[in-house]
Chains A and B, each alone.
Chain A
Amino acid sequence: MHIIGVYNIKGGVGKTATAVNLAYLAAKQGYRTLIWDLDPQAAATFYFRIKPKVKGGSKKLVAGKIDLDEVVKATDFENLDMLPADFSYRNMDLRLEDAKKPTKQLLKLLRPLSQAYDYVFLDCPPSISLVSENIFRAAEGLLLPLIPTTLSLRTYQQLLDFLEGHRITGLELMPFFSMVDRRKRMHLDVMRELPDEREELLKAQIPYASDVEKMGIHRMPVEAFAPHSFAASAYQALWMDVQKRLGK
Chain B
Amino acid sequence: MAPQSISYLLPDGLDLDGLRHQLAESNSLREEALSKAGQTFFDSFDWRVWQAGGELVQERDEINRICWVDRRSGEYLECELSDAIPGFSGELPAGPLRERLTPVLEMRALLPLVTITQQRRTLRVLDDEEKTVVRVVLQENRFTSIDGKLSGELEGRVLLKPLKGYDDHFEALHAQLEKLQLIPAERTLYEDALAGIGRKPGDYSPKLNYMLDPDARADATAKKIMLSLLDTLEANVDGTKANLDSEFLHDLRVATRRTRSAMTQIKSVFDPRELAPFKDGFGWLGKVTGPTRDMDVYLLQFPEYRASLPAPIQADLDPFHDFLVKHHEEAQKTLVKKINSPHFRKLMKSWRAWLNQPLPKKPKAPNALRPIAELSDQRIRKLYLKVIKDGEAIKPDSKPELLHNLRKDCKKLRYMMEFFQSLYPKPEIRSLIKEMKTLLDNLGEFQDLQVQAESLETFGKQMMKEGAPASALMAMGILVGKLLERQARAREEFAGLFEAFSSTPNRQAFQKLFYGSL
Whether, in the assembled complex, A214 has its beta carbon less than 8 Å from a beta carbon of chain B, the answer is: no
Q: Which residues of A contact B63 (CB under 8 A)?
A: 28-30
User: Interface segment, A43-51, A121-129, A147-155?
Assistant: A43-51
Q: Which residues of A contact B96 (CB under 8 A)?
A: 115
Proximity string of chain B (91-135) to chain A, C-beta cutoff 8 Å, 1 when within and 0 when not = 000001000000000000000000000000000100001111000
Q: Report the nearest A residue to B76, measured CB to CB.
A: A32
User: Interface segment, A11-19, A69-77, A85-93, A103-111?
Assistant: A69-77
Whether, in the assembled complex, A81 has its beta carbon less than 8 Å from a beta carbon of chain B, the answer is: yes
CB of A94, distance to nearest CB on chain B (Å): 26
A76 x B131 contact (CB < 8 A): yes
Identify which of A29, A30, A73 contacts B165 (C-beta below 8 A): A73
Complexed CA–CA distance, A47 and B163 (Å) = 17
Identify which of A28, A30, A76, A115 contacts B132 (C-beta below 8 A): A76
Given A76-B124, A76-B131, decide whether A30 and B166 contact each other with a Cβ distance below 8 A.
no
Q: Which residues of B contact A115 (CB under 8 A)?
A: 96
Tally B residues with Cβ within 8 Å of A: 15
Q: Which residues of B contact A81 (CB under 8 A)?
A: 164
Using a CB-CB cutoff of 8 Å, which residues 11-63 of chain A contact chain B? Answer: 28-31, 48-51
B165 x A71 contact (CB < 8 A): yes
Proximity string of chain A (4-16) to chain B, C-beta cutoff 8 Å, 1 when within and 0 when not = 0000000000000
Using a CB-CB cutoff of 8 Å, which residues 192-239 of chain A contact chain B? Answer: 219
Complexed CA–CA distance, A126 and B278 (Å) = 84
Complexed CA–CA distance, A81 and B165 (Å) = 10
Q: Report the nearest B residue to A115, measured CB to CB.
A: B96
CB of B27, distance to nearest CB on chain A (Å): 16
CB of A30, distance to nearest CB on chain B (Å): 4
Whether, in the assembled complex, B65 has its beta carbon less than 8 Å from a beta carbon of chain A, the answer is: yes
B131 x A50 contact (CB < 8 A): yes
CB of B496, distance to nearest CB on chain A (Å): 43
Q: Which residues of B contact A71 (CB under 8 A)?
A: 165
Q: Which residues of A contact B132 (CB under 8 A)?
A: 76
A30 x B65 contact (CB < 8 A): yes
B79 x A30 contact (CB < 8 A): yes
Q: Which residues of B contact A76 (CB under 8 A)?
A: 124, 131-132
CB of B127, distance to nearest CB on chain A (Å): 8
Q: Report the nearest B residue to A81, measured CB to CB.
A: B164
Whether, in the assembled complex, B81 has its beta carbon less than 8 Å from a beta carbon of chain A, the answer is: yes
Proximity string of chain B (43-76) to chain A, C-beta cutoff 8 Å, 1 when within and 0 when not = 0000000000000000000110100000000000
Complexed CA–CA distance, A49 and B130 (Å) = 7
Complexed CA–CA distance, A73 and B167 (Å) = 10
Identify which of B62, B79, B163 contacts A74 (C-beta below 8 A): B163
Q: Report the nearest A residue to B131, measured CB to CB.
A: A49
A51 x B129 contact (CB < 8 A): yes
B164 x A72 contact (CB < 8 A): yes
CB of B168, distance to nearest CB on chain A (Å): 12
Q: Which residues of A contact B130 (CB under 8 A)?
A: 49, 219
CB of A189, distance to nearest CB on chain B (Å): 41
Complexed CA–CA distance, A31 and B130 (Å) = 25
Complexed CA–CA distance, A30 and B83 (Å) = 13
Q: Which residues of B contact A29 (CB under 8 A)?
A: 63, 81
Using a CB-CB cutoff of 8 Å, which residues 153-185 of chain B contact chain A? Answer: 163-166
B131 x A72 contact (CB < 8 A): no
Proximity string of chain B (404-415) to chain A, C-beta cutoff 8 Å, 1 when within and 0 when not = 000000000000
Complexed CA–CA distance, A167 and B20 (Å) = 59
Complexed CA–CA distance, A31 and B81 (Å) = 8
Complexed CA–CA distance, A49 and B165 (Å) = 13
Q: Which residues of B contact A48 (CB under 8 A)?
A: 131
A74 x B164 contact (CB < 8 A): yes
Residues on A lying within 8 angstroms of B by beta carbon are 28-31, 48-51, 71-74, 76, 81, 115, 219
Q: A50-B129, A73-B163, A219-B130 are in contact. List 4 more A-B contacts (CB 8 A).
A: A28-B63, A51-B129, A73-B166, A76-B131
CB-CB nearest 3 A-B residue pairs: A73-B165, A49-B131, A74-B163
16 intermolecular pairs with C-beta atoms under 8 Å apart: A28-B62, A30-B63, A30-B81, A48-B131, A49-B129, A49-B131, A50-B129, A51-B129, A72-B165, A73-B165, A74-B163, A76-B124, A76-B131, A81-B164, A115-B96, A219-B130
